[in-house]
Amino acid sequence: MKNVKWVIIICSFTTLVITITSFFDGMAAPNSQALDSSVYLPLVIKQEPPTSTPTSTYVPTPTNTPTPTPTSIHNGGDIVSLAFSPAYQNDATLFVGSGEGLFMTVNGGSSWNRIDTVVSRDLAVSPGYTSDHMLFQAAGIFVYSSTNWSSWYGTTPWAPYHVHALAISPQFATDQTIFAGTWAGVAKSTNKGVSWEKLTNSPTMVRFLALTTNYPSDLTLFAGTDNQGVYKSTDGGATWGAVNSGLTSLSLRDLVISPNYTSDHTIFVATFSGGVFKSTNGGDSWSSANSGLTSLVMGALAISPNYTNDHTVFAGTTFNGIFKSTNSGDSWVPSNTGLSNLDMGALSVSPNYSNDQTVFAGTADGVYKSIDAGATWIIKGVPVSE
């Protein structure tokens, strides 16, 4: 008689790990686009499920802004996303997604508080943050939302595909609209992320999304893709068209829209190998904007909220640090004094930049801050709780 071996499996009630090795095998994005291995499971389910199932009218009750507990500041952490509070001039609040988790500061980076342990690929802060305290983060296949940073509600816009980009309506308080970009396409929510509509006509392999400041009226948004260039929708995402005339690189690394797009129709994109391109006709055509750049391998872009008057744009490269333009991208000058790492993963300009001249940059070394419009930078570290 053959020997029988028994395998005992011990399950923990505090952690649920589901490993699926065959069900999704061979699954591809629409139009037979091949996926990278990161979109496949095994999937680790987040440990903070909602205590009740929200309805379309679900509105979490805000709590007081948590007071951060100072943590040890270390180098290392790989910053992947940055997002200002729209009331930064009053609350000094910034959110940072790093390899160590999601952090916030309420004192301009002097101290930090870890508010989640996931790596946020992108962040979106409610335009009404002062009153609703609402924050969204893209992490894995989920979009998580919270109003108190201790409990999170997660939904999957297009499972099993990872969410790479978020964009929130400037009139979020009334239209409750947020978009999520995935490798399979763009999804749209009109109830604060409680449920999602898959926009099946949208582009695939979406890395970045951006809405115009007048989106509630013009319904215009742009998608930057990994290898298909720029797509545009003028009907709230129902239909899309490629707008790539003049682009020599279709692999996008960032996309920013002029805050005065309604009048100037200006957009900038950062590409993987072609540097920066600019359009002044809503994407109908593009021209190279690389004068002064010493590297054309880009990592990030950020535009001044006062662009109409100061014409300022920041460009982060993968090898040569940060460059600044004060003439609408016609020329660039290095802006690296104080930086010890020149590989830029994220850039963000203060909503009150015209007064505080504040810019944050994210690198593998951590968060850098400038309070003189990029002339000098100070390391604020990567927040790591010990």
pLDDT band at 69; cut points 50, 70, 90: very low
pTM: 0.81
Q: Hey, which bits of 185-286 come out as E strands?
A: 186-189, 197-199, 206-211, 221-225, 230-233, 241-242, 252-257, 267-271, 276-279
Structure tokens at 67: 């007071």
CA angle 349, 352, 353 (to 5 degrees): 50
pLDDT at 190: 98
Tell me how far apart the alpha carbons of residues 271 and 288 are, in angstroms, rounded to a whole number: 11
Residue 51 pLDDT greater than 70, yes or no:
no
**Closest alpha carbon to 100 in 386, 347, 383:** 383
Weakest-pLDDT range from 33-42, 136-145, 323-332: 33-42
d(Cα 246, Cα 18) in Å, to the nearest integer? 46
Contacts made by residues 357-363, CB under 8 angstroms, sequence distance 24+: 358/88, 358/108, 359/302, 359/314, 360/82, 360/84, 360/94, 360/109, 361/300, 361/316, 361/322, 362/79, 362/80, 362/81, 362/82, 362/96, 362/98, 362/300, 363/79, 363/339
Helix (H, G, I), strand (E, B) or coil at 252: strand
Q: What is the pLDDT of residues 251-291, one digit of tens each?
A: 999 999 999 999 999 999 999 999 999 999 999 999 999 99
pLDDT in tens, 15-36: 333 333 333 333 333 332 333 3
Predicted confidence band of residue 48 (pLDDT cuts 50, 70, 90): very low
pLDDT above 70 as % of the chain: 79
> What is the torsional sign of CA 280, 203, 101, 73?
negative
pLDDT at 60: 35
Distances, alpha carbon 236 to alpha carbons 163, 168, 261, 287, in Å: 19, 12, 16, 26
Q: Give me the percent of the chain exceeding a pLDDT of 90.
A: 73
- Domain spans in the chain, listed from the N-terminal domain onward: 17-384
Separation of alpha carbons 161 and 144, rounded Å? 15
pLDDT in tens, 176-233: 999 999 999 999 999 999 999 999 999 999 999 999 999 999 999 999 999 999 999 9
pLDDT of residue 320: 95
Give the neighbor-by-neighbor strand order of the sheet with 287-288.
Answer: 252-257, 267-271, 276-279, 287-288
Q: Is 326 within 8 Å of 311 (Cβ atoms)?
A: yes
> Which 3 state secondary structure label does DSSP give 30?
helix
**Buried-exposed string 346-357: b where 16+ CB fall within 10 A, e elsewhere:** bbbbbbbbeebb
Question: In degrees, to the nearest 5, what angle opens at C-alpha 251 toward C-alphas 246 and 255?
Answer: 75
Q: Write out the CATH class of domain 17-384.
A: mainly beta
pLDDT for 303 beyond 70? yes
